[in-house]
Amino acid sequence: MKLRKADEMEQYQNDKSAKNAYLFFTVALLVWSFIDFFKKGQTGWEFTILLIGNAIFLGSRVFYKRKMR
């Protein structure tokens, strides 16, 4: 199996799909965290995962934006 570079349309589709998946996971973990917080009075691992995921996302955006300069 030979790997090839994605063309512009495939890159666009991958970007849109990744954005939708990111939004879904972020909202799902946030809702789950709120439910746990109101039921138990504390957040569980899902909130930690949400924070780490967002830190990685924002950190990598800053890194790649600076790399492009």
pLDDT (tens digit per residue) in 8-44:
888 888 889 999 999 999 999 999 999 999 999 998 8
Collect all residues with Cβ–Cβ distance below 8 Å to 36 and sequence separation of at least 6: 42, 43, 44, 46, 47
Examine the pLDDT at 48 and tell me if it is beyond 90.
yes
**What is the separation of C-alpha 7 from the centre of its chain, rounded to a whole number of angstroms?**
23
pLDDT the model gives residue 1: 65
Examine the pLDDT at 52 and tell me if it is beyond 70.
yes
Count other C-beta atoms under 10 Å from residue 37's C-beta. 13
Dihedral, CA of residue 30, residue 34, residue 36 and residue 39, to nearest 10 = -170
Q: Are 24 and 53 in contact (CB under 8 A)?
A: no
